[in-house]
A and B are shown apart, each in its own frame.
Chain A
């Protein structure tokens, strides 16, 4: 059993997906370790959803090796399904059911898979509380608001207490408060339930808040792989220093902000005010990376640049 924990939960190498004559995925490779929260970022059409669907076992790949919980997902058994949670975007299914009846019903499928360490499924009431749907528990699902419905989707995804959870753009259409509540759920799952989580998002702020590690998918390949901090530091090495001197504003870009500021003080002493040092954010990094692709520099160049930067 030790081996199970040691082996990566997700292992992907040279994954390729071709639709007609278009290579959507062109040699994707990465690993996700036990207990990690990993975010897959990328522009529209980069193949995020395709990648997730291949990992979920919903889509057949063109080529490459994929192992999820030690099994090729396309050939996975029903027992494997019991260990994997998928948050799907619902719209009008089970309209006449109530959240309580649906969660209790779906939970029943997981009962045979309950173990001592992992009691399955979640208690319905506990789950309703976790996603904040206690007061809507007896309402028809049809009458839930968009945000409530998405929280129900999350509850359905985790009802079987999955070891691995997939979320494809989970907070699309959430208001800021709903988003915050959702982030709390993800943190709780990762910290308290020991769940490995893989999600896609368009929201960079969300990626930064949730993810232990970020993968950027562009041009059919993983072009960046690291923590938000690492990506920002390694790819955009420059920081911006702003200050004012006798009422006049100054901006300077430098790769060594600490030294620059030390010199600034040495030269001007107490005259320096409004000092601000701003490192590149994940957004800056992301935009820079994606722009590189769109300006036609291509995958190879960007991957090289990234590899150089992280050496």
Chain B
């Protein structure tokens, strides 16, 4: 086995180890718990709201859409924060100082962040199934759609997270660079309310980005075909979903290594030292 393949294997082990550490950490457990409470609480409070012009209840519509948005959220913000943080604390420099360390580092993050979707989905779907009736209306076929949308969504959004983490000037800037844009995009992507009820320009912007298509793909997995009356063009538009998410994935896989390498090349001990001073200043 050549050193590079070996490094990828070591990296997968690294991601798996970090995933297990995360599951055991009260900080991460708390994060999953709060996220589940907020989302399920919102859906529960709106459990009797019918969507305008249909007999569909809001949770039935919003649950799959939220799952779609969570993929984008977790895989853009997650690696974005991690990379920005690990640039500052020296993790990345350490990877750089190790033979094939960067290869393993990136493999580790791909594994860690992909696995992170599992607890995210479990804490929302499992209680959701008990709280709300008829969430999944397409049986086994629906679950298969759920799986491929998840995988494609992961491939489309993870590179964005890596690029974001590489270009954001500091961890403190992640709010303006990552968090708020995603929140804004989620608001116009037809996650909480059907996109048809939004302004025309918002519909155009939303359709450029993966969040809308992830929500749409998830709805096509969970909802009956009659629900397409709420969608643009009255269809699940499966082919455009696949094409657009794939385009994002391809672009991401072409661009992210270049950006990542450029960022890694500039890493040095004095940069880590400077970030450390800055962080100390910030805390004070």
Residues on A lying within 8 angstroms of B by beta carbon are 49-50, 52-53, 56, 58-59, 78-79, 81-82, 84, 86, 88-94, 96-97, 101, 105-106, 108-113, 156, 160, 168
The answer to whether B90 touches A90, judged by C-beta atoms less than 8 angstroms apart, is yes
For window 134-186 of B, CB contacts with A under 8 Å fall at: none
Q: Which residue of A lies closest to B1 (CB)?
A: A112
Would you mind naming 11 contact pairs between A and B with Cβ atoms under 8 Å apart?
A49-B270, A53-B269, A79-B99, A81-B98, A88-B93, A90-B94, A93-B94, A96-B21, A97-B21, A109-B100, A112-B99
The answer to whether B99 touches A109, judged by C-beta atoms less than 8 angstroms apart, is yes
What size tier do the contact residues of chain B reach? 20 to 34
Q: Which of B7-15, B53-61, B213-221 contacts A (4 or more CB under 8 A)?
A: B7-15
Q: Which residue of B lies closest to A97 (CB)?
A: B21
The answer to whether A53 touches B90, judged by C-beta atoms less than 8 angstroms apart, is no
The answer to whether A168 touches B269, judged by C-beta atoms less than 8 angstroms apart, is yes
Which chain B residues border A96 with CB–CB below 8 Å?
18, 21-22, 25
Partner of A92, one of B6, B14, B25, B89: B89
A282 to B270, CA, bound (A): 27
The answer to whether A91 touches B3, judged by C-beta atoms less than 8 angstroms apart, is no
- The winner among B7, B90, B97, B101 for most chain A CB atoms within 10 A is B97
- The winner among A82, A106, A113 for most chain B CB atoms within 10 A is A106
Which chain B residues border A84 with CB–CB below 8 Å?
97
Q: Which residue of B lies closest to A86 (CB)?
A: B97
A179 to B236, CA, bound (A): 68
Which chain A residues border B90 with CB–CB below 8 Å?
88-91, 93
Question: Is B17 interfacial (CB-CB < 8 Å)?
Answer: yes
Residues on B lying within 8 angstroms of A by beta carbon are 1-3, 6-7, 10, 13-14, 17-18, 21-22, 25, 86, 89-91, 93-94, 96-101, 104, 267-270, 272-273, 276
Query: Sorted from nearest, which 4 A-B pairs have the closest CB atoms?
Result: A93-B91, A58-B268, A82-B99, A81-B99
Given the known inter-chain contacts A96-B21, A109-B10, please indicate yes or no for A53 contacting B91, CB distance below 8 A: no
The answer to whether A88 touches B94, judged by C-beta atoms less than 8 angstroms apart, is yes
A227 to B48, CA, bound (A): 84
Report how many A-B pairs have Cβ atoms within 8 Å.
Answer: 87
Which chain A residues border B96 with CB–CB below 8 Å?
58
Known: A52-B269, A89-B90, A93-B89. 19 other contacts (CB 8 A): A50-B270, A53-B270, A81-B101, A88-B94, A90-B89, A90-B94, A93-B91, A96-B25, A97-B21, A105-B14, A108-B6, A108-B13, A109-B10, A109-B98, A110-B99, A112-B1, A112-B99, A113-B99, A168-B269
Which chain B residues border A97 with CB–CB below 8 Å?
17, 21
Which chain A residues border B3 with CB–CB below 8 Å?
78-79, 112-113
The answer to whether A105 touches B268, judged by C-beta atoms less than 8 angstroms apart, is no
The answer to whether A49 touches B21, judged by C-beta atoms less than 8 angstroms apart, is no
Which chain A residues border B269 with CB–CB below 8 Å?
49, 52-53, 56, 58, 88-89, 168
The answer to whether A109 touches B101, judged by C-beta atoms less than 8 angstroms apart, is yes
Which chain B residues border A78 with CB–CB below 8 Å?
3, 99-100
Q: Give the distance to chain B from A198, nearest Cβ to Cβ, in Å.
A: 14
The answer to whether B94 touches A156, judged by C-beta atoms less than 8 angstroms apart, is yes
The answer to whether A89 touches B272, judged by C-beta atoms less than 8 angstroms apart, is yes
The answer to whether B276 touches A91, judged by C-beta atoms less than 8 angstroms apart, is yes
Partner of A53, one of B1, B25, B268, B276: B268
Partner of B267, one of A58, A101, A105: A58
The answer to whether B267 touches A94, judged by C-beta atoms less than 8 angstroms apart, is no
Which chain B residues border A160 with CB–CB below 8 Å?
98-99
Given the known inter-chain contacts A86-B97, A88-B97, A88-B272, please indicate yes or no for A111 contacting B6, CB distance below 8 A: yes
